[in-house]
Structure 1
Amino acid sequence: MLSLKTVYFIQAGIGILANAFFLIFHIFTIYPVHRLRPTDITTCHLAVVHIVMLLTTLDVVSEDMFKLLNFPNELKCKLLFYFSRVTRGLSISTTCLLSIIQVITISPSSFCLSRFKHKLTSYIIIAFFCLWSLNMSANCYMTIYTVAHSNRSNLLNINRYCSLSSMNSIIMALVLTLELSQCGLFVGMMLLSSMYMVIFLCRHQRKSEYLHSMSMSPRISPVKRATCTVLLLVSFFVVMYCVDIIISSFSTTLWRYEPLILDIQRLVGNVYATVSPVVLISSDKRLIDLVHNVIAMITILK
């Protein structure tokens, strides 16, 4: 029977390979031939974030990497946990940005956000800068409270090398308020954008049924396919995020080292980073066509 740790390494390995595959195909195959769409730029950014997130939560890989740099244990723990928190924040904020971009893309000219449609690529770069600045500054406090393992009793283990020291009740309340406000804002915007996309898909379905009744061949448009993909990603993220919050709250309430809870939380926290590139690859017709062409060329060469 596979242990949770083995399952975790398999999950992280699949996630890193899938995200790297998605990113490499976009950079070296699609970009030279086609102009990258705003959603392509955002999903590539999401893939980079997920690769870093999965690497920083791989204890063995991270330990070997920092041994080569000869970093002290204390600094290693601070950097590992800090970048892990930053990338998790970027995962939720980039997914939120992706849903908003898709809403702008499919919106009619009368929609209030449609004025951003023509300069969307320029605004995306600004949005990336804002998201990185927000998440890096919001998690700075972790560099103060993250420490290497010691014999102190008031520590909460976050992995097998690092611990989180206890906070003042006022500071903890302030941190939790800021985190919940930030997460609530992003999740709220994702839910609103999801509602808009559902309305769009319903209208598109009625239009398709009308065309079908007029004996016209119904086909799934690229816009509808992209909208369904983004809606699926957002829905899956919200579900996994809620499960992660429940497990995290239970772990924080116990305030003691529970390896099983930490392993389960790590598995749940990385599910979205592993599944999202698979969904994006399987729904991107350009990627599927390229893979088919590569397979055809290999078959011919044989």
Structure 2
Amino acid sequence: MSLIKNILYFQTVLGILANMCLLFFYTFIILVHRFKPIDLISCQLTFIHIMMFLTGGDLWLSEVLDSLNFENDFKCKTTFYISRVMRGLSICITCLQSVFQAVTISPRTSLLAKFKHKLKKYMIYAFLLIWSFNLSFGSNRIFFVGAFTNTSETNQMKVTKYCSLPHMKYIIRALILTVTVFRDVFLVGVMLTTSAYMVIILFRHQRQCKHLHSISHMRVSPEKRATQTILLLVVFFVVMYWVDFIISFTSVQLWMYDPVILTVQKFMMSAYPTITPLVQISSDNRIINMLKNLWSMCHPIS
């Protein structure tokens, strides 16, 4: 168990550092250079991942609240609410990222092509809708969760260090579960659909290029590289998200949430926010060039 916790701590530190670097890069690009609409989505997703790390475990935000001597009930409601909202925002923004990339690379003859020049305008509306829905939908958790009191009580289920869920009525539990499942299934379906669409476009583009150039001399365009990266991240996200969902669903149905399950679930929830910045940093030439420039400035050739 201690080994798993050490791995989880390492994963958390690595994830926060990688996402902080990525957040600094996107903020710099947005404020100083010309940026793409997809950069706004990536910047926001990076911020959400940082918040997921800060609220997803028994450290960071919990330790801050400890130092301020807040009551356990306040700690519980604050950390649980923010973590649930960030979890919902993660799947929504990831879906939005997949959709916008599909629109970006769509051919001029496609129906999606007419939306290209309005991406920034639609993006603002999408952000407002996504944040409003998740902030309001997550507010119900404030009323149902409370401070964990006694491990011997059977009418509560411990979900974090300070937090427990009381034994809710079947109708309320079924309603919350139905809305959550419907949201997740719909968004995952959209992600898989747009991913399949992007795969088809890339395949057609590859076939067209074969007639013009030799494969060995073909250069991968930034749009194609970005699309391949998003496809990889979407597939990984879907796998990790549904593993986490199955663990949560099983635990709630069996009314059992032991420390091992909690630790495994935290690891699954943190896997995507940890891998995402590492993949994006290694695949974005703009970030690589910026890192090279910083390295050359810090280590000038004598």
- TM-score scaled to structure 1, two decimals? 0.94
SS class of match (2:164): strand
Match of 1:148 in 2: 147
> 2:301, 2:27 → 1: CA distance?
26
Deviation digits for residues 236-263 of structure 1, max 9, x if unmatched? 1011112112222232233134111110
| Amino acid of the structure 1 residue aligned with 2:266 | R
Q: Establish whether residue 105 from structure 1 lines up as the match of residue 104 from structure 2.
A: yes
Q: Establish whether residue 198 from structure 1 lines up as the match of residue 199 from structure 2.
A: yes
Q: Report how far residue 144 of structure 1 moved.
A: 1.0
SS class of match (2:160): coil
Percent identity of equivalent pairs: 46
> 1:70, 1:299 → 2: CA distance?
46
Match of 2:174 in 1: 173
- The answer (yes or no) to whether the contact 1:155–1:256 under 8 Å persists in 2 is no
| Amino acid of the structure 2 residue aligned with 1:199 | I
Deviation digits for residues 180-238 of structure 1, max 9, x if unmatched? 1111111010010001010011011112221225x994110111111101111111101
- The answer (yes or no) to whether the contact 2:55–2:62 under 8 Å persists in 1 is no
- The answer (yes or no) to whether the contact 1:22–1:277 under 8 Å persists in 2 is yes
> 2:271, 2:178 → 1: CA distance?
26
Match of 1:122 in 2: 121
> 1:75, 1:231 → 2: CA distance?
39
Q: Report how far residue 114 of structure 1 moved.
A: 2.4
Instruction: Give matches, 1:1-302, under 5 Å.
Output: 3-28=3-28, 30-151=29-150, 152-213=153-214, 217-300=217-300
Deviation digits for residues 40-92 of structure 1, max 9, x if unmatched? 11000000000001100131212221134443211210110011000000000
Q: Report how far residue 176 of structure 1 moved.
A: 0.9
| Amino acid of the structure 2 residue aligned with 1:211 | L
- The answer (yes or no) to whether the contact 1:9–1:58 under 8 Å persists in 2 is no
CA RMSD of aligned residues (A): 1.8
> 1:104, 1:69 → 2: CA distance?
47
> 2:257, 2:204 → 1: CA distance?
51
SS class of match (1:156): strand
Q: Report how far residue 115 of structure 1 moved.
A: 2.3
Q: Report how far residue 31 of structure 1 moved.
A: 3.3
Q: Report how far residue 32 of structure 1 moved.
A: 4.8
Q: Report how far residue 301 of structure 1 moved.
A: 6.1
> 1:206, 1:163 → 2: CA distance?
55
- The answer (yes or no) to whether the contact 1:99–1:190 under 8 Å persists in 2 is yes
Unaligned runs of 5+ in 2: none
- The answer (yes or no) to whether the contact 1:145–1:166 under 8 Å persists in 2 is no
Runs of 4+ in 1 over 4 A off after TM superposition: none
> 1:298, 1:87 → 2: CA distance?
36
- The answer (yes or no) to whether the contact 1:147–1:162 under 8 Å persists in 2 is yes
